Amino acid sequence: MDKWFGQVHANRRVDLSVSSGTVHGIVGENGAGKTTLMNILYGFYRADRGQILIGGKPVGFRHSGDAIAAGIGMIHQHFMLVETFTVVENVMLGAEGSPLLGPAGRWARRKLAELEGEFGLQVPMDVPVGELPVGQQQRVEILKALYRGADILILDEPTSVLSPREVEGLFRILRTLAGRGKTVILITHKLAEIMAATDRVAVMRRGAVVARRRTADTTVSEIAELMVGRQIRPASRGVPVEPGRSLLDVDRVTVRDSAGVARVHDVSFSVRAGEIMGIAGVAGNGQSELLEALAGLRPVATGRILVDGEPAVSGSRDRRRRGVAHVPEDRRRSGLVMPFRACESAILGYHHDPRYGRGLRLDWPAVAGDTRARMEAFDVRPANPQRRTAELSGGNQQKLMLAREVERATKVLLVGQPTRGVDLGGVDFIHDRIRSLRDAGKAILLVSANLDEILDLSDRVMVMAGGRIMGEVPAGRAAEPDLGLLMGGVRGSDVPDRAP
Amino acid sequence: MAAVVVLDSTLRLATPLILAALAGLFSERSGIIDIGLEGKMLGAAFAAGCVAAVTGSAWVGLTAAMAASVLLALLHGYACITHRGNQVVSGLAINILVSGLTAFLAVAWFAQGGRTPQLPDAARFLSMDWPGAGVLEAVPFVGVVYGELLSGHNVIVYLTWLAVPAVALVLYRTRFGLRLRAVGENPFAVDTAGVSVAGVRYRALVCAGVLCGLAGAYLALAQSAGFLRDMTAGKGYIALAALIFGNWRPVPAVLACLLFGCLDAVSIRLQGASLPGLGEVPVQLVQALPYVLTVVLLAGFVGRGVPPKAIGVPYAKEG
Amino acid sequence: MSVTAPDPVSGLPRWSVLGLLPGLNLLAAFAACGLIVLLAGEDPWQAVQVLVGGAFGSGEAVGYTLFYATSFIFTGLAVAVAFQCGLFNIGGEGQALIGGLGVALVCLHLDVLPFLLLLPVAIAAAALFGAAWAFVPAVLQARRGSHIVITTIMFNFIATSIMVYLLVNVMSPAGSMQPETRAFAEHARLPYVHEVAGALGWEIPSSPLNVSLVLALLCCAGAWLFVWHTRAGYRTRVVGASPAAAVFGGISPGTQVLVAMTLSGALAGCMSLNELMGVQHRLVLEFTGGFGFVGIAVALMGRGHPAGIVPAAVLFGALYQGGAELAFEIPAITRDMVVIMQGLVILFAGALEYMFVPALRPFLVRRAVD
């Protein structure tokens, strides 16, 4: 089976077979083609070549309705729920059975109650799903699929938004489902989940299936090697520099979102010159909000942020003045301007720099020259400042952003997800740049959803859960199981607890 | 007595607003901005005027009005759904196009300075007096309410009274309504549930077209005796304002239409009249009130509306 | 506002996006217009000949064409500048009306000033009044999040009501039933181009074309410099392309909304100079004649760039002038045809901008073979 996106070969000659009553894992790095494959199975995209067989019969899916009719249910990474609708309304949407909602609703309610009983998936029926916690929303998604008579359930990165306790609950549900004859396909890039929840596993790399194993017959390290296609090198930390004075102090900071809900609770820490501080945690536990507050993009509700001993005020311009540079988590949304030329993206935030023109005027030849030099220094290919930002690959976009920020980090660099969607060669390059900036005596704060990246780069690791700092682990000990407990919001007794 | 007269003309003036606002409700709750209510109504009025003049039948005229309006709605859908064009631009294009086209064709076909021929009574929707209105006239209050408010309207006014609960039922009590509200909030949820987003949106636009067709026919076949150049005179925009004012819900939107209709009725009565203690009230002030009120509401000074979440965003799978 | 939509023209060569597609869209608009002429029972080809002759056939005709184009340059630029900030300013009509009020107040009450002083004051008044009328929706958008499309539409109607009230009750001379002010003094009028040319010894046919064309062209140059060559213009474009990126870059989207809308309103307001000081020489009702909406068509056709707006404005000027000639020659074809054309251009160059992309793509892009 093959799938093209424009000029990208997202899936190449993928062969996969899954037997019923099992949990089948599909593992691969970001961009390995897992999600594309599943979207084809679900009829959301169409394959350019190849076929799908269910129970030995070839099926052709023109749209997701066909896939549903064939007994496939998909639980997407981002839930496909209407937040203002109740659970019952969401579950019956598209499978109402009757043109009138009255009888349809009564019927749906009865069937839902049966399913809840059969699979142990309790959810309140008349609450708008937007008001439910994410774990429950996921149950609604599973119920939606079961309600449609799904025999094959596909879960795409189902744990990325869950706490460890919710993950355990989910795995219990998956086992129950398999036990009752359903087929479960679990897509993930987390190896521990594969080991914990699956019977068989297929490894994908760059759009192709590179290996199939019985989970019981394999090991984490074997799968990891297959996934990246090379030996995992031991973390090369270089020569640790003796950290200098504190450049970034966070003093009892609380951050609220626009609805007034506290996302970061009373957080305190410091980052010193010459060290990389990594923040680990399950996505959505306040790391993004903390990073944005530190970058001046979110107001601080209470507490203080000090840069080199001086209190900082709100606004990203203040930070740039103080020598704090920021590589944001989402380059497509905020770090770059996709429709702009590369040189226009390369001055974002520094468009007031006098080297780009005097007075009100922007001197484009000067901007382009400067951008070309930066692109060459950071190996952005092609090093053409007139090229549209959107036409650069993800890795090159990321390098363009680093090219803009790194030099400006005279004191502090804040980095979010520095290698998301970046190919392997680019990852090494970016990691080297971050390390050499550390070696040059800057303070670096790293937020990443990729735990390996955190462990690979950081000198110290701090864990956030529920908007609080659960604890701090020195780099050497970071791989210990404590980390998992901390990420799940459980304070390990042997972990140095920073709370007074 | 004066109050009853104002109420009576409120009903008459609010009828096209209510129909257009309900049309906008279908479209916008499905996620498609509908600036083009004005154009659809005007196109429908023109079709009604032409066809009724040629055939001599109000009902054939009404059918033509609906057909014209649905065609315009489909054009909007072709631009916004099929080609994912900008919904505001498309609606505006339809308004301007129809404004030119109707005047142009009216002159070219009928040569009466941009209007369609004066319709005979047989080709119009006339007021229908309910039985007993004359007898009850003498009874105080009841006579006036029955004779003026309830009785004595044309069939489209009564259809409108039926349309309000009907639309609310469709929206909140049927499968189609559930899917329609869902595409306006999260089209991805509908697509992954195996329902075509484009299909639901096209159907919503057709409903909007039918209702705008009724509104246009009302203008040309009931309120006037034929089509007049630019006869909607901003009613489509007022209906849109009422829809926003009513927070995209049927009953509040209809109440807003009645309020705006009432303002219109009052401004007509005030023309040249002098109020005790206030002197002459500028009619323009009363006429501008619907717009001012909508702006004030949009500014969030008196509560804040919550538009459908996916409104104005073209649906695309990749992205 | 939301996720960036997939770019429909990604991978297409630049010449096709800037030249071929707009050309095809315009062609489609003309073709549809031809069909409508057929519907009216007339010969489209004959209509085109009359139209072109009427628009460019004589010096006088060209003067009229450019006179209309002047107004369209102003309103087209107004729409384009707001669009760079991601705003759809539908309120050009109302902003021009209120701008006209400013011009009239200056010309009626400050005509003690000599022409050379009066002119800059009148220009400032046109710009200032227009800007003020755009400023309110801008503040509501920037600070309260009110959708600017809806508020500017509402402000068009409110402006009309105000003008009717003022002209009927306040500004018309005592005893007059006409909703218009007294005529401006002789020196409170803009010189016609044929007068200026005549004074320089160059005889050209008389037409309403006046020196505000020069101001319009200056505005084009100014808008071009502002949008693409200043820091403020850069900030405006960042907000238009990605509000989140603007916030990241330390640019306040709200402030840029105010700046862009103020400029947009000022440009729309200046349109009234051409009409009132140039030709009408008094404040009359509905002098804007829907030209604010023509600006939308002009801006879309000119792809938001002054170099595209000027030819687009001339095209619409030609349609207006040629359309008048057409209505005279062929009574069945009224000037409403121009409005039709305007709607069709907005439809094909705006809402259906990428209609031809799927059909064209195979010819323009060769798929890389893996």
Nearest to C10 among A297, A352, A390 (CB): A390
CB B186 to CB A5 under 8 A?
no
Nearest to A99 among B174, B185, B190 (CB): B174
pLDDT band at residue B277 under the 50/70/90 scheme: low
Q: Measured between alpha carbons, how far is B58 from B53 in angstroms, rounded to an integer?
A: 9
The pLDDT of residue B38 is: 96
Strands of A443-447's sheet in order across: A324-327, A412-416, A443-447, A275-280, A460-465, A468-474
Closest CA to C345 of C71, C22, C91: C22
The pLDDT of residue B73 is: 97
Q: Are B8 and B258 in contact (CB under 8 A)?
A: no
**β-bridge pairing A246-256 and A183-188:** unpaired
Q: Measured between alpha carbons, how far is A91 from A109 in angstroms, rounded to an integer?
A: 9
Please name each of the domains of chain A with its CATH number: 3-228 (3.40.50.300), 246-487 (3.40.50.300)
pLDDT in tens, A20-58: 788 988 887 666 677 777 778 777 777 777 777 777 777
The pLDDT of residue A499 is: 37
pLDDT in tens, A135-145: 888 889 999 99
Q: Indicate if the pLDDT at residue A481 is higher than 80.
A: no
Which residue is closest to B309 within chain C, CA to CA? C2
CB B190 to CB A68 under 8 A?
no
The pLDDT of residue A478 is: 46
C-alpha count within 13 angstroms, C-beta hemisphere, residue A205: 14
Domain count, chain B: 1
Which residue is closest to A336 within chain C, CA to CA? C245
Partner B contacted by A104 (CB < 8 A): yes
CB B191 to CB A44 under 8 A?
yes
- Kindly list the distances between the CA atom of residue A462 and the CA atoms of A167, A191, C147, C363, in Å, as whole numbers in the listed order: 22, 22, 43, 55
The pLDDT of residue B270 is: 75
**β-bridge pairing A183-188 and A23-27:** parallel
pLDDT in tens, A253-272: 999 987 777 889 999 999 99
- State how far residue C200 is from chain A, nearest Cα, in angstroms: 37
- State how far residue A80 is from chain B, nearest Cα, in angstroms: 4
Tell me which chain C residues have a C-beta less than 8 angstroms from the C-beta of A326. 248
Q: Indicate if the pLDDT at residue A493 is higher than 50.
A: no
The pLDDT of residue A421 is: 75
Q: Indicate if the pLDDT at residue B304 is higher than 70.
A: no
Supply C202's token pair.
Answer: 């160059």
C-alpha count within 13 angstroms, C-beta hemisphere, residue B200: 31
Supply A419's token pair.
Answer: 């290698």
* Average confidence (pLDDT) over C115-139: 95
* Average confidence (pLDDT) over A381-390: 89
Q: Are C242 and C4 in contact (CB under 8 A)?
A: yes
pLDDT band at residue C256 under the 50/70/90 scheme: very high
Q: Kindly state whether residue B306 falls inside one of the protein's structural domains.
A: no
pLDDT band at residue B4 under the 50/70/90 scheme: confident
DSSP string over B152-196: SB-HHHHHHHHHHHHHHHHHHHBHHHHHHHHHHH-HHHHHHTT--
The pLDDT of residue A30 is: 60
- State how far residue C108 is from chain A, nearest Cα, in angstroms: 37
The pLDDT of residue B305 is: 67
- Structural domain of B106: 2-124+136-301
Cβ-Cβ contacts under 8 Å for A429 (sequence gap 6 or more)? A378, A379, A399
Q: Kindly state whether residue B104 falls inside one of the protein's structural domains.
A: yes
pLDDT band at residue B319 under the 50/70/90 scheme: very low
Partner A contacted by C164 (CB < 8 A): no
Tell me which chain B residues have a C-beta less than 8 angstroms from the C-beta of A144. 193
Q: How many other β-carbons are positioned within 10 Å of the β-carbon of residue C220?
A: 22
Q: Are C294 and C319 in contact (CB under 8 A)?
A: no
Q: Measured between alpha carbons, how far is C336 from C331 in angstroms, rounded to an integer?
A: 12
pLDDT band at residue A490 under the 50/70/90 scheme: low
Q: Measured between alpha carbons, how far is C368 from C319 in angstroms, rounded to an integer?
A: 44
In this prediction, what percent of chain C has a pLDDT beyond 70? 96
The pLDDT of residue A233 is: 47
Tell me which chain C residues have a C-beta less than 8 angstroms from the C-beta of A347. 234
Q: Kindly state whether residue B318 falls inside one of the protein's structural domains.
A: no
Q: Kindly state whether residue B166 falls inside one of the protein's structural domains.
A: yes
Q: To 10 degrees, the CA torsion angle through A25, A30, A36, A38?
A: 20
For residues B47 and C178, the model is more confident at B47
Summary mean pLDDT of chain A: 83
Q: Kindly state whether residue B313 falls inside one of the protein's structural domains.
A: no
Strand partners, A346: none
Summary mean pLDDT of chain B: 88
pLDDT in tens, B63-98: 999 999 999 999 999 999 999 998 999 999 999 999
Q: Indicate if the pLDDT at residue A500 is higher than 70.
A: no
The pLDDT of residue A483 is: 67
CATH number for B247: 1.10.3470
Q: Measured between alpha carbons, how far is B158 from A180 in angstroms, rounded to an integer?
A: 57
* Average confidence (pLDDT) over B265-287: 74
Q: Which of B162-176, B242-256, B300-314 has the lowest mean pLDDT?
A: B300-314
Among C38, C337, C347, C353, the residue to mutate for chain B (most B Cβ within 10 A) = C347
Q: Kindly state whether residue B307 falls inside one of the protein's structural domains.
A: no
pLDDT band at residue B160 under the 50/70/90 scheme: very high
Phi then psi for residue A382, to 5 deg, are -75, 150
* Average confidence (pLDDT) over B252-264: 92
CB A316 to CB C238 under 8 A?
no
Q: Indicate if the pLDDT at residue B100 is higher than 90.
A: yes
Element (H, E) at C342: helix C336-345
Partner C contacted by B50 (CB < 8 A): no
Partner A contacted by C365 (CB < 8 A): no
Query: CA-based Rg of chain A, rounded to a whole angstrom?
Result: 24
Q: Indicate if the pLDDT at residue A230 is higher than 60.
A: no
Q: Which of residues 51-80 of B touch C (CB under 8 A)?
A: 75, 78-80
The pLDDT of residue A8 is: 44
Q: How many other β-carbons are positioned within 10 Å of the β-carbon of residue A161?
A: 18
Q: Which of residues 217-276 of C touch A (CB under 8 A)?
A: 229-235, 237-238, 241-242, 244-245, 247-250
Summary mean pLDDT of chain C: 90
For residues B269 and C369, the model is more confident at B269
Q: Which of A17-26, A361-370, B227-236, C282-291 has the lowest mean pLDDT?
A: A17-26
Q: Token match 């690791």: residue?
A: A461
Nearest to A81 among B175, B189, B194 (CB): B189
Angle at A266 between CA A261 and CA A272, to 5 degrees: 130
CB B191 to CB A64 under 8 A?
yes
Q: Which of A455-459, B48-52, C66-70 has the lowest mean pLDDT?
A: A455-459
* Average confidence (pLDDT) over B105-111: 90
Most confident of A171-175, A308-312, B284-288, C254-258: C254-258
Q: Kindly state whether residue B55 falls inside one of the protein's structural domains.
A: yes
Q: Measured between alpha carbons, how far is A238 from A456 in angstroms, rounded to an integer?
A: 11
pLDDT in tens, C334-354: 888 889 988 998 999 888 988
* Average confidence (pLDDT) over A79-106: 90
Tell me which chain A residues have a C-beta less than 8 angstroms from the C-beta of B179. 93-94
pLDDT in tens, A109-168: 999 999 888 888 888 889 999 888 878 888 899 999 999 888 889 998 887 777 667 888
Cβ-Cβ contacts under 8 Å for C222 (sequence gap 6 or more)? none
DSSP string over C260-320: HHHHHHHHHHHHHIIIIIIII-S-BTTTTTTHHHHHHHHHHHTTT-HHHHHHHHHHHHHHH
Q: Indicate if the pLDDT at residue C172 is higher than 80.
A: yes
The pLDDT of residue A6 is: 40
- State how far residue B223 is from chain C, nearest Cα, in angstroms: 23
The pLDDT of residue A497 is: 39
Helices C59-84 and C253-272: angle between axes, nearest 10 degrees: 160
Q: Kindly state whether residue B217 falls inside one of the protein's structural domains.
A: yes
pLDDT in tens, B176-234: 999 999 999 999 999 888 899 999 999 999 999 999 999 999 999 999 999 999 999 88
Partner C contacted by B228 (CB < 8 A): no
pLDDT band at residue B135 under the 50/70/90 scheme: confident
CB A333 to CB C242 under 8 A?
yes
Q: Which of A93-107, B197-211, C353-367 has the lowest mean pLDDT?
A: C353-367
Q: Are B42 and B230 in contact (CB under 8 A)?
A: yes
pLDDT in tens, B21-38: 999 999 999 999 999 999
Q: Measured between alpha carbons, how far is A330 from C236 in angstroms, rounded to an integer?
A: 21
Tell me which chain A residues have a C-beta less than 8 angstroms from the C-beta of B174. 99-101
Q: Measured between alpha carbons, how far is C181 from C178 in angstroms, rounded to an integer?
A: 8
The pLDDT of residue A428 is: 86
- 3-state class (DSSP) for residue A162: coil
Partner B contacted by C149 (CB < 8 A): yes
The pLDDT of residue A495 is: 38
CB B299 to CB C140 under 8 A?
yes
Domain map (residue ranges) of chain C: 32-364
Q: Measured between alpha carbons, how far is C146 from C364 in angstroms, rounded to an integer?
A: 41
The pLDDT of residue C307 is: 93
Q: Indicate if the pLDDT at residue A275 is higher than 70.
A: yes
The pLDDT of residue A415 is: 94
- Hey, what CATH topology would domain C32-364 get? ABC transporter involved in vitamin B12 uptake, BtuC (1.10.3470)
Q: Indicate if the pLDDT at residue A319 is higher than 80.
A: yes
Which residue is closest to A348 within chain C, CA to CA? C249
Chain B adjacent subunits, 3+ CB pairs under 8 A? A, C
- 3-state class (DSSP) for residue B103: helix
